[in-house]
Structure 1
Amino acid sequence: MTFAYPLLFWLLPIVPIVWWAMYRRSRGEVVTMRFSDLGMLRGVKPSWRIRMRPLLISLRAAALGLLVVVLSRPQYAQSSERVVREGIDIQLALDISLSMKAGDFDPKDRITVAKEVIAEFIKGRKDDRIGLVVFSGNAFTQVPLTLDYDFLQTLLGQVQTVRRPDGTAIGTALAHSVNGLRNSTTKSKVVILLTDGSSNRGDIEPAQAAEIARALDVRVYTILVGKPGGGEYPVHDAWRDETYLIPAPTAEDEVALRDIAEQTGGIFFRAGDEQGLRDVYATIDKMERSQVASEKLVRYTEAWQPWAAGALLLLMLEILLRNTILRSIG
């Protein structure tokens, strides 16, 4: 229990002073009678009614004390905490060109590892809208920004490499991802672009796409996957019904991806194996966290009523006794 005006309790020491003043006054209001001889009254003791007279003063003083408590406004405080979380809008741009089938992430290929790591990244997010853009020689939205992580995971699991149009349109993919964030009202907008090659397709150059991202205040993290020297990926020849292993190109020129990250306030990463890629996404996950604020709410319930009822009851009892069994003469 709390009190709105606790300083009023300094009035409580006045109560015993008031009691003493009323007691002294009652002693001075004794009704007297004249007797020619007081000898016959020496053995007479005061009746219980006389001895109970100070009770009336005590009841009134106690009522006064309770009124002081009422004036201090006793209250019950109920506190609650409301957590406000501001999410981040994240676009995941995933390269699905044929070279992502390269098996240099032994025993898995690049696309399989990338999908598994991205799925784990999504599981670790909360209250963030996440979208998925896939690209090769062109780019398209697989999943628009959503909070439905189960739906996102389902469509991510269905992503496969494509043969046509082959190539790597990094600029187009970045511009397409940024366009999906154009109407975002969140303070933090992020693109995580994963590829294994250099930009060799598309109508938009990576530098142009980076300028668009910077203009819209979108931070871009770029990830280059694959071991130096690359691996091999299978290509099926439908005419001959044969499958060939073709050396996978590995982008040794990191300049474009570094420039994109630096221009937009992001970071460039390189991952040559599965653990390296997991570390990259773990780092981004720690850097891009939702802003959380807590707001404490306190609700007060007035509790003066029982104290007021007690004071009223004492006053009524005092009046009742004063006018009945403890009634004075004269």
Structure 2
Amino acid sequence: MVFKNPYFLLLIPLAPCLGLVLKTLFSGRQAGLRMPLEMEACRETLKVQVYGLLSFWGRILAITLAIIALARPQEISVTEIPPVEGVDIMLCIDTSMSMAALDFNPYNRLDAAKNAATDFVKKRLHDRIGITVFGGNTALACPLTLDYQAVLEFLDSIYLNMTESQGTAVGDALATSINHIKNSAAKSKVIILLTDGRSNTGLITDPVIAARTAAAFDIKIYAIGTASKGRAQIPTNDPLQPYLYVDEDLDEGTLMAIAKTAGGEFFRAKNYAELQRIYSKIDELEKTKFEAKIHADYEDKYLLFLLPSAFLFLLIFILERTVFMRIP
């Protein structure tokens, strides 16, 4: 609680003096009731003294409440208004079968990507986030939204070969993400592309062409290559041959060209720790900068003090002329 006119509170120490002044003014006008002489002894009885104290301190309390009411107490309700515009971010995640490779201990490539992306989403504020998944085909898994819980649920539901197709259509995946984000009014638009291979299928055979389109719409692309050096194991669920071995097939050159063309950066993650650091770096590079707007509502509370003060004054006025009436 705050006070609009706090200087009135300086009068509180003077409340006893004001009480005496009021007592003198009212007692001077108070009519006496003539009683027999033997009643004079009742003047200094305990009852009279108690009545006098109640009247005096009641008046001081009423004056104090009135002073607080004059200071105009207010209750503040503060609301933080988030910025209208943030960053729009599309997570473009490869779900092809090679993402099952077990070189991101303790996860396979896809689970590592999901976990790192989950941590990334949890750090964002006031930014819309969407998800595109791709293999040989592409699909918009989650449209741009501020509902981070929904984004996290969609991330958790991503699985291997989600598009039920062979190959890696990087160009088409970028096109799908660009088409969804290009008309955004956000101050910054970003695509985070994550893949472990090279573009080998799809309508857009050269992903750099898609990157040029992104640049034309002021969309920045960060490209993340997720593959260790050398060969990696892929589980087969076949007890006779539990693992297959796949050679590294990450097209770093094309991913670098995509990132450079669209004003972003290329990152290579060879293990889970590196992937986490990459997402953390992107989080810092695309940190939303805004000044939170604070709106304060002031609600007057002076009636909580003024009404009891008025009631006390009225009560004392009545009691002093009835129950507290002094007998001269």
TM-score range, shorter chain: 0.5 to 0.7
Retained in 2: the 8 A contact 1:92–1:131?
A: yes
Q: Does 1:72 align with 2:71?
A: yes
The amino acid of 1:143's aligned partner reads A
Counterpart position of 1:176: 176
Give 4+ residue runs of structure 1 displaced > 6 Å after superposition.
24-27, 50-54
Larger of the two Rg values belongs to structure: 1
Counterpart position of 2:320: 318
Retained in 2: the 8 A contact 1:193–1:221?
A: yes
* Aligned-partner SS, 1:277: helix
Retained in 1: the 8 A contact 2:102–2:233?
A: no
Percent sequence identity over aligned pairs: 28
Counterpart position of 1:156: 159
Q: Does 1:203 align with 2:185?
A: no
Q: 1:282 to 1:158 in 2, by over 3 A?
A: farther
Retained in 2: the 8 A contact 1:101–1:161?
A: no
The amino acid of 1:220's aligned partner reads I
TM-score with structure 1 setting the length:
0.64
Q: Does 1:129 align with 2:138?
A: no
The amino acid of 2:209's aligned partner reads Q
Retained in 2: the 8 A contact 1:79–1:298?
A: yes
Q: 1:65 to 1:208 in 2, by over 3 A?
A: same
Shift of 1:270: 1.1
Counterpart position of 2:267: 269
Q: Does 1:92 align with 2:84?
A: no
In the aligned structure 2, how far is the partner of 1:106 from the partner of 1:298? 52
* Aligned-partner SS, 1:180: helix
Equivalence map 1:17-96=2 (5 Å): 19=20, 23=24, 49=43, 55=52, 58=56, 62=60, 63-74=62-73, 77=75, 84=82, 89-95=88-94
* Structure 1 vs Structure 2 CA RMSD: 4.8
In the aligned structure 1, how far is the partner of 2:197 from the partner of 2:114? 22
Retained in 1: the 8 A contact 2:91–2:132?
A: yes
* Aligned-partner SS, 1:105: coil
Counterpart position of 2:215: 214
Q: 1:315 to 1:204 in 2, by over 3 A?
A: farther
In the aligned structure 2, how far is the partner of 1:308 from the partner of 1:88? 57
Shift of 1:246: 7.3
Retained in 2: the 8 A contact 1:233–1:247?
A: no
C-alpha distance after superposition, 1:123-168 (max 9, x if no partner) = 33247533123144xx4215132642324422335537843xx4x5
In the aligned structure 2, how far is the partner of 1:3 from the partner of 1:107? 61
Retained in 1: the 8 A contact 2:99–2:160?
A: no
Q: 1:290 to 1:68 in 2, by over 3 A?
A: same
Q: 1:25 to 1:312 in 2, by over 3 A?
A: closer
* Aligned-partner SS, 2:181: coil
* Aligned-partner SS, 2:172: helix
Structure 2 residue ranges without an equivalent (≥5): 33-37, 235-243
Q: How many residues align?
A: 292
In the aligned structure 2, how far is the partner of 1:107 from the partner of 1:49? 95
* Aligned-partner SS, 2:162: coil
In the aligned structure 2, how far is the partner of 1:118 from the partner of 1:268? 16
The amino acid of 1:116's aligned partner reads D
In the aligned structure 1, how far is the partner of 2:63 from the partner of 2:272? 79
In the aligned structure 2, how far is the partner of 1:96 from the partner of 1:55? 88
The amino acid of 1:211's aligned partner reads R
TM-score with structure 2 setting the length:
0.64
* Aligned-partner SS, 1:156: coil
* Aligned-partner SS, 1:141: strand
Counterpart position of 2:108: 113
In the aligned structure 2, how far is the partner of 1:250 from the partner of 1:26? 100
C-alpha distance after superposition, 1:28-87 (max 9, x if no partner) = x9x9xxxxxxxxxxxx9x765499799599579635554333333345x36566584887
Q: 1:312 to 1:9 in 2, by over 3 A?
A: farther
Structure 1 residue ranges without an equivalent (≥5): 32-43, 235-243
The amino acid of 1:219's aligned partner reads K
Q: 1:6 to 1:317 in 2, by over 3 A?
A: farther
Shift of 1:119: 1.8
Shift of 1:190: 2.4
